[in-house]
């Protein structure tokens, strides 16, 4: 039986390592650092991000079970206008973070995680005008080795 992406990535610890590496890359980028420079970011942002990724990639439903729903996540990212350059820079930072976190520069896991992040970035940009456009009870999207599940 093929492992889930979550299992192949090293579970929560592997995804937390990736979240830290991505955050460091974003902070060092003059464009990608912008969303991280405002007050109000949750003090456990990286742990919550790793928990969100874990659930989306085949791990336990700890994010939606104890933290928030996907509508909440979409609202956090909504109402910021269109920001294609920022999105591309965030994806580039994620690609570099995959290397930094020990996921290499290619291969099935690397490629799957990068495809997931690119897809997820597009999902987060779906409501550029206002958080009020985000519907209630949007299910957390899942990603498989073959793409959206």
CA 1 to each of CA 4, 7, 14, 36: distance values in angstroms, whole numbers, following the listed order: 9, 12, 21, 39
For the segment 26-55, the average pLDDT, to the nearest whole number, is: 83
Phi, psi dihedral angles at 128 (to 5 degrees): -70, -20
Annotated binding site: 72
Beta carbons within 8 Å of 62's beta carbon, 6+ residues apart: 51, 54, 55
The pLDDT confidence band at residue 90, using thresholds 50, 70 and 90, is very high
Whole-prediction pTM value? 0.90
Q: Binding site membership for heme: which residues?
A: 72
CB 118 within 8 A of CB 91: yes
Question: Which backbone phi and psi does 72 adopt, to 5 degrees?
Answer: -60, -45
Q: How far apart are CA 136 and CA 130, in angstroms?
A: 14
> Does residue 39 carry a pLDDT above 70?
no
CA distances from 69 to 15, 62, 85, 87, 136 (A): 19, 10, 27, 22, 9
pLDDT band at 135 (very low <50, low <70, confident <90, very high): confident
Q: Which percentage of the chain shows pLDDT scores above 90? A: 60
Question: CA 31, CA 28: separation in Å to the nearest integer?
Answer: 9
Q: Which residue, among 14, 90, 118, has the nearest Cα to 58 in the 3D structure?
A: 14
The residue to which tokens 């965030």 are assigned = 90
Question: Dihedral (C-alpha) 5, 6, 11, 12: value to the nearest 10 degrees?
Answer: 140
Task: Share the mean pLDDT of the chain.
Answer: 90
| 42: pLDDT strictly greater than 70 | no
Per domain, the residue ranges of the chain are 5-148
The token pair at 67 is 């933290």
Domain 5-148: give its CATH superfamily.
Globins (1.10.490.10)
**The pLDDT value given to residue 37:** 62
């Amino acid at each position: 039986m093929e492992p889930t992406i979550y299992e192949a990535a090293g579970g929560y610890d592997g995804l937390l390592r990736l979240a830290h590496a991505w955050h460091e890359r974003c902070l060092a980028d003059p464009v990608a650092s912008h969303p991280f420079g405002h007050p109000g970011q949750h003090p456990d942002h990286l742990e919550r991000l790793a928990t969100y990724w874990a659930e989306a990639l085949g791990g336990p439903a700890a994010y939606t079970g104890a933290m928030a729903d996907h509508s909440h996540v979409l609202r956090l990212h909504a109402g910021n206008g269109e920001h294609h350059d920022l999105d591309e820079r965030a994806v580039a930072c994620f690609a570099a973070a995959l290397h930094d976190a020990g996921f290499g520069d290619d291969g099935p896991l690397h490629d799957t995680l990068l495809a997931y992040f690119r897809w997820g970035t597009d999902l987060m940009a779906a409501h550029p005008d206002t958080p009020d456009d985000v519907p209630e009870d949007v299910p957390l999207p899942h990603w498989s080795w073959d793409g959206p599940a």
